[in-house]
Chain A
């Protein structure tokens, strides 16, 4: 039996938000960016690939 997928956002200490489950991510113009099962979102403001994390927080 399939377990129901729980929509979950994990806050990584000194790192990104990990978004898992049934999410829709829309950009600043309302355009659809992603419906992937798992995305990493920048929360430090330094990523060159915003809104996604690119690891820049480690620098």
Chain B
């Protein structure tokens, strides 16, 4: 297990955070900042939202970076960590003040001529600041990025 993984619990659920899975889509902090605040440490404060609000956000995390389990359900925990299967068509979603979320199966031809296969999901940098080009590394959050103009 990654030593950076964390779990946060209230009376009803435990939310698991796996930073290596995160592709910085930003749904969590854009829609429920009081709980998910990247500028705070720890960045998840599970007591700042209702269980229903938190489950809604965790289920809309596009990866398994955020998962949850209900207290006492033990064996059912895996249920929440299996996100919906990806559609066959490739979908690119422009994230507000964030990356391009790419879902589907396609090939990336890198600028050095090498190829990478994407089978499910990845995210492309849109601010030019990522150190992991062409992928998003979350740097836009630190630098502010800019409002979208379309």
A-B contact count (CB 8 A): 93
Task: Give the nearest-CB partner of A41 in chain B.
Answer: B100
Q: How far is the CB of A15 from chain B (nearest CB, A)?
A: 8
A6 to B105 CA separation, bound complex (whole angstroms) = 10
B124 touches A49 (CB 8 A): no
Task: Give the nearest-CB partner of B149 in chain A.
Answer: A50
Contacts of B129 in A (CB 8 A): 45
Number of residues from A at the complex interface, CB < 8 A: 31
A45 touches B91 (CB 8 A): no
Taking the complex as formed, is B145 at the interface, i.e. its CB lies under 8 A from any CB of chain A?
A: yes
Query: Given A7-B106, A50-B148, A50-B150, A43–B93 Cβ distance below 8 Å?
Result: no
Taking the complex as formed, is B4 at the interface, i.e. its CB lies under 8 A from any CB of chain A?
A: no
Q: Which of B33-41, B44-52, B108-116 contacts A (4 or more CB under 8 A)?
A: B108-116
A8 touches B148 (CB 8 A): no
A17-59, CB under 8 A of B: which get 1 and which 0? 1010111111110100100000001111110111100000100
Taking the complex as formed, is A10 at the interface, i.e. its CB lies under 8 A from any CB of chain B?
A: yes
B91 touches A9 (CB 8 A): no
B111 touches A26 (CB 8 A): no
Task: Give the nearest-CB partner of B101 in chain A.
Answer: A26
Q: How far is the CB of B79 from chain A (nearest CB, A)?
A: 26
